[in-house]
Amino acid sequence: MNFYHEIVQPETVPIEGPEILGYKAARLAGPTIIQEYHVLIQEDLEYPYLTTGLGIMLLRVPND
């Protein structure tokens, strides 16, 4: 997955149908993941996580 091309600068933006829901969800989740990685590095954490209520996303950046 190329995060920048698929989330930040997609080639096309859907305007209707079920595709717009996926697009909007990705536009909300993308910045959240970026912010969590920022905090992870800033606070020197190794195992943060995100939860949506439906699922848990485990993140990791090794300390070495």
Q: What is the dihedral of CA 50, 41, 32, 4, to 10 degrees?
A: -120
Would you report the helix, strand and coil content of the chain in percent, each value rounded to 5?
A: 50, 10, 40
pLDDT of 60: 86
Say whether pLDDT at 45 is over 80: yes
Say whether pLDDT at 24 is over 80: yes
- For 3-20, what is each residue's pLDDT tens digit? 788 888 888 888 888 889
Length of the chain: 64
Average pLDDT over residues 23-45: 86
Say whether pLDDT at 48 is over 80: yes
